[in-house]
Amino acid sequence: MLVNALIVVVTVVLMELFSIAAHKYVMHGFGWGWHRSHHEPRTGWFEKNDLYALVFAGIAIALIFYGTRGAHPLEWIGAGMTAYGFLYFVAHDGLVHRRWPFTWVPRRGYLKRLYQAHRMHHAVEGKDGAVSFGFLYAPPVAELKRRLHVLHQGAPRRPGRDAATGRPDAPASSADAR
């Protein structure tokens, strides 16, 4: 059972690494047609970008199905993908994008850094020039601000938005920007 638990944990870590690459090169590349909806104001409960979650859920279900029919350890890899999907739903869809019926903005620690990093990802318009492609890993905010500045020297950012929070122009001394 310890080996199976290790497979689940390693899969969660590998899914984050895979997701960083997929987000940067697929979603902000040839897959922009689905992902664009995520960078635009949502008009309903769902967005076209949610199709990515359905694809990965389908893969996880298939792995669990074949793993439980003798192709071990596929079921544990599928379970790790499912655990990653749950963490993504909680951190990304819930915390950052507020797709839950309640809101909470973290004021310190890892969750604040994750929140700020993803808001900086959305601080630019379009698919090019974004930073921070992880969903559970967030580089240091100061590094992301530096990269945004280098990438966009003189270029407009999303109008009226604070780069650190993604909110309407917040003063640099606000609690979210610190």
pLDDT tens by residue, 105-152: 899 999 999 999 999 999 998 999 999 999 999 999 999 999 998 888
pLDDT of residue 176: 42
How far apart CA 50 and CA 124 sit, in angstroms, is 21
Helix (H) or strand (E) holding 3, with range, is: helix 2-21
pLDDT higher than threshold 70 for residue 163: no
Mean pLDDT of 65-88: 98
Say what the pLDDT of residue 100 is. Answer: 83
Q: Which helix (H) or strand (E) holds 11?
A: helix 2-21
| pLDDT for the residue numbered 162 | 52
Do 82 and 10 lie in one domain? The reply is yes
Q: In whole angstroms, what is the distance from residue 11 CA to residue 152 CA?
A: 35
Asked whether residue 144 is assigned to any structural domain, the reply reads yes
Angstrom distance (rounded) from CA 97 to CA 77: 27
**Rounded-to-integer distance, Cα 15 and Cα 169, Å:** 34
Domain boundary among 46, 77, 96: 96
Is the Cα torsion angle 117, 122, 127, 129 positive or negative in sign? Answer: negative
Q: Please indicate, yes or no, whether residues 81 and 125 belong to a single structural domain of this protein.
A: no
Q: Do 68 and 28 share a domain, yes or no?
A: yes
11: domain range?
2-96
pLDDT for the residue numbered 38: 96
Residue 101 lies in a domain: no
pTM of the model: 0.82
> Largest alpha-carbon pair distance within the chain?
58
In a domain, 102, yes or no: no
Task: Kindly state whether residues 91 and 111 are assigned to the same domain.
Answer: no
Residues 171 and 132 in one domain: yes
Among the candidates 61, 96, 131, a domain finishes at 96
- Tally of domains within the chain: 2
Cα–Cα separations (whole angstroms), residue 169 to 86, 88, 136, 159: 32, 27, 26, 9
Q: For 28-67, how does the pLDDT look when each residue is reduced to its tens digit (9 = 90+)? A: 999 999 999 999 998 888 999 999 999 999 999 999 999 9
The stretch 81-108 carries a mean pLDDT of 92
The answer to whether residues 19 and 62 belong to one domain is yes
H helix or E strand, kind and range, residue 77: helix 74-88
